[in-house]
Amino acid sequence: MKDGIHVAAMTPVFPGSEDAAGQPATLGVMGGGQLGRMFVHAAQRLGYFTAVLDPDAQSPAGRVSHHHIQTDYNDPAGLSQLAQLCQAITTEFENVPAQALHVLAQTRPVAPGAAVVGIAQNRIEEKAHFAACADLSGVSCAPYAVIETPAQLQAIQEDQADLLPGILKTARMGYDGKGQIRIKNAGELAAAWMELGSVACVLEKMLPLTAECSVLVARGWDGQVVSFAPQRNVHVDGILAVTHAYEGNMPSALATRAREAAVSIAHHLSYVGVLCVEFFVVDDGSPHGSLVVNEMAPRPHNSGHYTLDACDASQFDLQVHAMAGLPLPSPRQHSPAIMLNLLGEVWFDARGQRREPDWTAVLSLPGTHLHLYGKLQARAGRKMGHLTITGPDVASVKAVARHAAGLLGLPGLDAI
């Protein structure tokens, strides 16, 4: 059994098939954001019907799905309806309640399972998992300590000064730089913990970072694994701004090690579905530095959006294949690519006045692929879409990406 489902129940769900009641093969997704929208498009392209459970009437995925169940994620009636409609179910973001996935898994295959999603929802459990499989993966996380009580806080202040300077992060609900405070010394630690609400936190030692990268892995119910080459990522204010996806984007030895470590982590979890593992490259005095694992996302990831345009199978195609029990094709990247994240700021000028981006100029550039997520209101920090640039060689891709970023007023120009 896996998460309450008998292996015998995990027979493939083929596109275009029907269930015992004559209903078309339907795949479900918990969450209606842009990742769910792109999953729905991939599933529908194969011929599946889709169902989305999300409380937002205007959710990007709900607006394009065959079925939109507009309920809370823990609503028993909504979960029952989703299970009745679907032959297999996934999630599009890690903060869907793990308990809801557990309930669904009593009657339907759910990938990834509740136990794995629960680990990713809690940095304390996530760090413990990375530490436990360090021997297998060959990559550990940064030195850290858990703070859940005043006694643990005091112990760190007195006995673990080597963790400072560091970053204090809430154990739950932190993303895109939220729920994090940089700490210079022990005197700042108590105040920072109080500022975060004295909730369970992790204090991570600040390391001399030279780069960030991520690896996308897809693993099937039968243990088959395929993966994409690592992509190098640039963040601005804690939010992904630029992804570099091409051969030579990072030293080959580090790329190989990151890919192997991500696969090992997926195996250690008995993971099913698409998993993104994020790494830091640390300056340790060696020619290329070393890797530490930062965090994982039990779903497709923003840094993998380039796969829609630069690969013969995207991360969303692999998500569909994995959850439905289909064979996993080994993805091939046919073009070098750079992905630019489009936040709500793109729709406002320097005076804060609403404007429409100059799409005519941007889309006149060679190799540009615009993806907007169907969100009705732009606001600062909100992920509205992305622009992927592909081309025959890295130099031409970089040149177009710089031009496009300049036209759109995007940050991170110096990182392209």
Cβ partners under 8 Å of residue 25, min gap 6: 13, 14, 15, 16, 17, 18, 19, 47, 48, 49, 87
Task: Identify which of 1, 39, 26 has the alpha carbon closest to the alpha carbon of residue 87.
Answer: 26
Burial 378-403 (b: 16+ CB within 10 A, else e): beeeebbbbbbbbbeebeebbbbbbb
Angle at 298 between CA 120 and CA 236, to 5 degrees: 85
Average pLDDT over residues 1-24: 70
Least confident of 11-20, 204-213, 220-229, 233-242: 11-20
Class for the domain spanning 143-205: alpha beta
Strand partners, 348: 354
Helical pair 186-195 and 150-159, crossing angle rounded to 10 deg: 160
**pLDDT tens by residue, 277-323:** 999 999 998 988 999 999 999 999 999 999 999 999 999 999 999 99
Tell me the CATH number of domain 209-415, given options 3.40.50.300, 2.40.50.100, 3.30.470.20, 3.90.180.10: 3.30.470.20
Q: Does residue 18 or residue 306 have the better pLDDT?
A: 306
Return the pLDDT at 160. 77
Amino acid at 64: V
Q: Tell me the average pLDDT across 353-377.
A: 96
Question: Does 7 score more than 90 pLDDT?
Answer: no
pLDDT tens digit sequence for 178-230? 788 999 988 899 999 999 999 999 999 999 999 999 999 999 999 999 999 99
Q: What is the mean pLDDT of the chain?
A: 93
Mean pLDDT along residues 59-69: 97
pLDDT at 415: 82
Percent of the chain with pLDDT over 70: 97
Q: What is the pLDDT of residue 162?
A: 87
> What CATH topology corresponds to 7-120?
Rossmann fold (3.40.50)
Q: Is 159's pLDDT higher than 90?
A: no
Q: Say whether pLDDT at 177 is over 80.
A: no
Residues 76-85 pLDDT 10s: 999 999 999 9
Q: Has residue 168 got a pLDDT over 90? A: yes
pLDDT at 9: 45
Query: CA–CA separation, 265 vs 133, rounded Å?
Result: 7
Which pair of tokens denotes residue 348?
């406002």
DSSP per position, 255-278: HHHHHHHHHHHHHHTT--EEEEEE
pLDDT digits (tens, 9 = 90+) for 108-148: 999 999 999 999 999 999 999 998 888 877 888 999 999 99
Closest CA to 337 of 321, 359, 315, 319: 315
234-250: average pLDDT: 94
Only one residue has tokens 């909100």, namely: 382
Tell me, what's the pLDDT at 176?
A: 60
What pLDDT score was predicted for residue 258?
96
> For position 8, what pLDDT does the model report?
35
Whether the predicted pLDDT of 6 surpasses 60: no
Domain coordinates in residue numbering, the chain:
7-120, 143-205, 209-415
**Bridge partners of residue 372, in order along the sequence:** 385
Structure tokens at 25: 């093969």
Are the C-beta atoms of 314 and 42 separated by less than 8 Å?
yes
| pLDDT tops 50 at residue 374 | yes
Give the pLDDT confidence of 265-282 residue by residue, as tens digits.
999 999 999 999 999 999
